[in-house]
Structure 1
Amino acid sequence: MGSAGIDESAVEAWVADLGIGATGPLTFKRIGNGQSNLTNLITDAGGAKWVLRRPPLGTLLASAHDVVREHRILSALQGSAVPVPKVLGLTEDPAITDAPLMLMSFVDGTVVDDVSVAETLSVERRAAIGASLTRTLGRIHAVDLESAGLDDLASHKPYAERQLRRWSGQWEKSKTREVPAVEQLATRLHAAIPEQHELTLVHGDFHMSNVITSNDDGQVVAVVDWELCTLGDPLADIGALLAYWPEQGENYIGQFMSSTLPGFPSRAELAAAYFAETGRDAAALGFWHTLALWKVGIIAEGVLRRLTNDPRNAAAVGPTAELVDDIIERAVISADQYQL
C-alpha cells in the first residue's frame, strides 16, 4: 500500500477495466486538507489525471463518509446546473478494496483551502470567487428533487430537529472530553427552532475549501465533498458558509482565514447576495448560522477523535482541542448576538 488505504495494483487493474484510457503505471498521491473521505490524485504514464475517493481509515460512525451515497448524489447532478466532477466508476469489490472507492474526473482549477493560496490571487479574483459561491449555492437549492431522482435521499421531516438530534448523537459518540457548552447550546437551539417553509437539496458542508474555482475568472467550476448532503432547509447551507467565513480582526484558529483578505465579501455581503439571488426570507439566518458553528465544532471533535484512533487519517492541517473550544465559544457568542 503506497497511498494509505489503497491497494495500488488492484486499483490500477480496476481503472484499466473502466476503459477511460488510463495508461499504466499509475501513481497515487493524497491531496487536499479534507479530514473526512480521503481523496487521492491518480496520474497515469501520459500525465492524465483522475480523482479517487474512499472512506477514512479505522472504525467509523454509522453512515458517516458514505462514498456510495456520495456517488449517487454526484451521478444525479451530472448535466445539471450544479457544477460537479464527472463520475467514472464505483467499486465495493473486496478483491480490490476494503471500503467503497469512487473514481471521478480531475477538474483543473484553484481550491482556496489555505491563506497561502488566497494570497496568490488578485483582489478582483477573490471578489469573483465570493460572488460565485452564493450563486452556486442558489443553484444547489434550485435542483428539482423529483426529476433528479433525489426525492428519497433523506427524510422530509423538519430539518432543524433532525440536525440537532443527529449532531448531539455524534457528539456523544465522538467527544474526547466534556465540553458543557455543547449541550447547553443544543438546548438553546432547540428552543429557538424556526418554522421550515421548504425542502431542498442541502450540500451540508458548503465552504470555500469544498469548491474548485476557475483559474481564469474565479467562477466555481466544481462543488466537491458531498458526503453530508441531505434534504432540508436551504438556509442551513448559507448559515454554514457564514460559519466558515471569518472576517478581518477575528482570531480564528484553523485553515479558514482566507476570507479575511481584501477582496472577499463580508459575511453580511455574502448573505445579502444569497437572499437577493434566491428571493428567500432571511429571518431565520441567525439560528442557522449558530447551529452551523455548533455543528462545525462537533465535526472538528470527530476529526480529533479519528486522529487519536488512527493517525494515518491526518491531512496537512488537523484540528486540536483548542480549535474545537474556539469554535464552540464562537457559537455561544453567535447565540447571544442573535438572542437565541
Structure 2
Amino acid sequence: MGESDPPGMDLRKLRAHLDSALPGLVRADLHGELIAGGRSNLTYLVTDDHHRWVVRRPPLGHVLPTAHDMGREHRVISALEGTPVPVPGTVLSCPDSDVIGAPFYVMEYVAGTPFRRAGELDALGATRTRAIVLSMVDTLVALHAVDPVGAGLADFGRPEGFTARQLRRWGKQLDASRSRELPGVDELHRRLAARLPDPPAPAVVHGDYRLDNMLVDGADRITAVLDWEMSTLGDPLTDLGLLLAYGSPAMPVGSGVSDAHLAAGYPAADEITERYARGSGLDVADLDWYVGFAFFKIAVILEGIHYRFAQGRTVGADFDRIGEVVPGLIEGGLARMEGRG
C-alpha cells in the first residue's frame, strides 16, 4: 500500500482491478479517504478528480465473514435499483480478497446528509425535521412493498420462523459476550420467547433502519438508504420496531448512540406507527413485542462492543463508555413488554 492509501484500501490495486473489469471507467489516479468505519463495514470515498465512487469492505481483522457479506449488500442494492426505494447505483462487486485484502464492492456516490444528532436537525427547524422523518417512514413502507420475487430476491433469506430464529441468534450473541451482570436481560429474553407474534407476509427487511443510515438532500428528500449488511427476507415489523426503539424516550443517549429523536419536530411513536400502518396495511397489534425485541437486539450489539473493548480488541470514539448504555436498553425493553414506554 502507498503512503497516501487510507487504512484497508490499496488504491493502486483498486484501480488496476477497475481498469481490467471496466476499461475507461477510471480516468486518472485514484485518491480516497475512509469516511465511516469501526463497528460496521468500512466505507471509502474514492475519486479520480472526474468522478466519485463509494467503496465498501469488511472491517479490518474481521472474524465472521457472514456478518460482513459484501456480495449480499451488493445484491440487495442492485435488486432495489428502479424501485421506489432510493439506493445508490452499483458499479462492481469483487469477491476476491487478493485485490485489496478483502471482498468489496463499488457504488455510485450519492450526495446527502446522514442526520445523527438532534442539533443537526434542530438547525433545520421542527417543520423540516417532521417532514424528513415522515418521509423515512414512507420509504420503509415502500421497501416492504417490494415484491421479493419480482426483484430477484426470492432466495435472499429464510422467512419461515424468522422471528424465533432472530431471537435465538441474538440470545447466542449475548451468551458469547457475557462478562458482567446485566440485571433483567435474561428476563427480557424469556418474555420475548414466551410471546412470539404471528408474523405478516415476509418482505425485504433492512435490519438496521434508522435516520442516520440514510442520506437526505437539501430539499429534505431521502436520496439513498445505506448500510444493508443486515438485510434479508423476514418479518417487516422488525424494521418498524427498531425504528421506534431508536426514537423512544427510553433510548439512552450518549456513548455514540444517536439522539436524533430528541430534535424538535421529531414525530411521536403513535404518529409514526399510524402512518406506517396506514401505508402498509399491516396489523401492528403486536408492536410491543417488536419494540421490546429491538431494545434487546441493540443491547446485545452494544454489549458485544463493550466486551471486545474490555478485552482490548476494539478501539474507537465512545467505545470506552458504550457499556453504560446497555442497562437502560434492557429496562426500555422490559418496559415495552409490560405495556409501558
TM-score, structure 2 normalization: 0.90
Residue in 2 aligned with 1:85? 88
Instruction: Give yes or no for contact 1:12–1:24 (8 Å, CA) kept in 2.
Output: no
Match of residue 31 from structure 2? 27
CA distance in 2, matches of 1:92, 1:261: 41
**1: CA distance between counterparts of 2:54 and 2:181?**
38
Q: Which residue of 1 is the match for residue 134 of structure 2?
A: 131
Residue 42 (structure 1) aligns with? 46
User: Given the alignment of the two structures, is residue 11 of structure 1 paired with residue 14 of structure 2, yes or no?
Assistant: yes
Aligned to 1:244: 246
1:147 alignment partner, one of 139, 150, 153: 150
Local SS of the residue matching 2:243:
helix
- Cα distance in 2 between the residues matched to 1:111 and 1:20: 31
For residue 192 of structure 1, what is the aligned residue in structure 2?
195
- Aligned residue identity for 2:46: I
1:294 and 2:296 correspond: yes
1:228 alignment counterpart = 230
Structure 1 residues 94, 110: CA separation in 2 closer, same or farther (over 3 Å shift)? Answer: closer
Q: Which amino acid aligns with 1:36?
A: S
8 Å Cα contact 2:119-2:263 kept in structure 1: no
Structure 1 position 222, deviation (Å): 0.9
Deviations 1:261-317 (A, max 9, x none): 1121112211111111112111011100110010011112233345555446x3x55
- Name the CA shift for 1:27/1:306 in 2 (closer, same or farther; >3 Å): farther
Residues 81 and 131 of structure 1: CA distance in aligned 2, closer, same or farther (over 3 Å): same
Deviations 1:202-240 (Å, cap 9, x if unpaired)?
111100011111211x12121111111111111111100
Q: Which runs of 5+ in 2 are unaligned?
A: none
Match of residue 281, structure 1, among 280, 283, 308: 283
Q: Secondary structure at the match of 2:14?
A: helix
| Deviation at residue 178 of structure 1 after TM alignment | 4.1
1:198 partner SS: coil
Over aligned residue pairs, what C-alpha RMSD do you find?
2.3
User: Does the residue aligned with 1:31 lie in a helix, a strand or coil?
Assistant: strand
> Counterpart of 2:56?
53
Q: Is the 8 A contact 1:245 1:256 kept in 2?
A: no
2:124 aligns to what? Answer: 121
Give yes or no for contact 2:202–2:236 (8 Å, CA) kept in 1: yes
Q: Secondary structure at the match of 1:24?
A: coil
Identify which of 318, 324, 327 aligns with 2:326.
Answer: 324
1:27 and 1:326 mapped to 2: Cα distance?
42
Pairs within 5 Å for 1:65-80: 65-80=68-83
| Conservation of the 8 A alpha-carbon contact between 1:199 and 1:232 | yes
Instruction: From the superposition, tell whether residues 12 and 158 of structure 1 become closer, same or farther in structure 2 (CA, over 3 Å).
Output: same
Aligned CA distance change for structure 1 residues 87 and 146 (closer, same or farther; 3 Å) = same
Q: 1:59 to 1:334 in 2, by over 3 A?
A: same
CA distance in 2, matches of 1:189, 1:237: 16
Whether the aligned pair in 2 keeps the contact of 1:246 and 1:260 (CA below 8 Å) is no
CA contact (8 A) 2:241 2:287 kept: yes
Cα shift at 1:171: 1.8
Cα distance in structure 1, aligned partners of 2:194 and 2:314: 38
Among 170, 174, 177, the residue aligned to 1:167:
170
Summarize the Cα distance change of 1:251–1:158 in structure 2 as closer, same or farther, 3 Å threshold: closer
Measured in 2, the distance between the counterparts of 1:175 and 1:80 equals 42
* Offset at residue 35 of structure 1 (A): 2.0
